[in-house]
Amino acid sequence: MNAENTRRAEQLLGSFPNRSSALIPILHLVEDEFGFIPEGEVESVAAMLDVTKAYVESVLSFYTLFHRQPTGKYLVQVCRGLSCHLRGGDDLARFLYEELGLRRNGTTEDGLFTVEEVECLALCKDAPVIQVNLEYRPNVSRADLAKFLRQAREGVTADA
């Protein structure tokens, strides 16, 4: 972890009634910094909390938002909840895989995009829904996705 995140991690260790509660927030710091949880960081997080590496592994492997492989600059999560399924969510995933030449739940070779089909994202009224780097995009169409891919490739920030 970089110096800023190390400082924040140390702060987190003291901010709960029990130090153990800091593990998941610290793993979030690692995931945010690297886009995944690198092997070496598992070791340093374990040392920080005075637990075994295996224990940290056991926790992080339980949660889908912690990745063990590098993810792309844009993590695109396509909701496959039933409500999105009923309103064309599958088609969005299919479109992304075709456009990006990906198999299911993969990362492009240029490291720009990771596409994951995920379970219900809790915005069912605005189905179909995706999240890009954990920010919602409601009522998404193929055209919206095409625009997003184009802008991302041109290096324009996604919200521009």
Partner 1 sequence: MPEKRLLLRNLHVPGIAGIETYERTGGYRSLRRAVLELGPDAVLQEVMTSNLRGRGGAGFPTGRKWSFLPKDGRPRYLVCNGDESEPGTCKDQEIIYRLPHLLLEGVLTSAYAIGAEQAFIYLRGEFKEGYRILEQAIAEARAGHYLGDDVLGSGRRLEVSLYLGAGAYICGEETALLESLEGRRGLPRLKPPFPATAGLYGMPTVVNNVETLAAVVPIVEMGGAAYAQLGTEGSAGTKIFSVSGHVRRPGNFEVELGKVTLGELLNDLAGGPPEGRKFKAVIPGGSSVPYLTPDKFDTPLDYESLKAAGTMLGSGGVIVLDDSVSIVDASLRLMEFYRHESCGKCTPCREGTMWLQQALERLHGGEGRRGDLLTIQGLCEHIDGQTFCPLGDAAIAALGSALRIFRDEFDQSIPGGRDRRVEEVAR
Q: Tokens 């945010």 sit at which residue?
A: 32
Taking CB under 8 A as the binding criterion, the range among 2-10, 52-60, 94-102, 106-114 that sits at the site for partner 1 is 52-60
The binding track of 113-132 with respect to partner 1, each residue x by CB under 8 A or -, is: -----xxxxxxxxxx---x-
Taking CB under 8 A as the binding criterion, the range among 1-9, 74-82, 106-114, 145-153 that sits at the site for partner 1 is 74-82
CA distance 96 to 59: 31
Residue 108 binds to partner 1 (criterion: CB under 8 A): no
Q: DSSP label at 88?
A: T
CA distance 70 to 48: 23
- Whole-number minimum distance, CB 15 to partner 1, in Å? 7
Helices (H), the chain: 3-13, 23-34, 39-49, 53-60, 82-86, 89-100, 142-153
Counting beta carbons within 10 angstroms of the beta carbon of residue 116, is it exposed (0 to 12), middle (13 to 18) or buried (19 or more)? buried
Residue 28 binds to partner 1 (criterion: CB under 8 A): yes
Q: Are 112 and 73 in contact (CB under 8 A)?
A: yes
Instruction: Please select the residue that binds partner 1; options are 34, 36, 66, 97, rule is CB under 8 A.
Output: 66
Instruction: Please select the residue that binds partner 1; options are 11, 21, 52, 141, rule is CB under 8 A.
Output: 21
Taking CB under 8 A as the binding criterion, the range among 1-9, 22-30, 100-108, 151-159 that sits at the site for partner 1 is 22-30
Residue 64 binds to partner 1 (criterion: CB under 8 A): yes
Q: Identify which of residues 118 and 158 has a Cβ nearer to partner 1 in the complex.
A: 118
End-to-end CA distance of the chain: 30
Residues forming the site for partner 1 (CB under 8 A):
15-18, 20-25, 27-28, 49, 58-60, 62-66, 77, 80-83, 85-87, 118-127, 131, 134-136
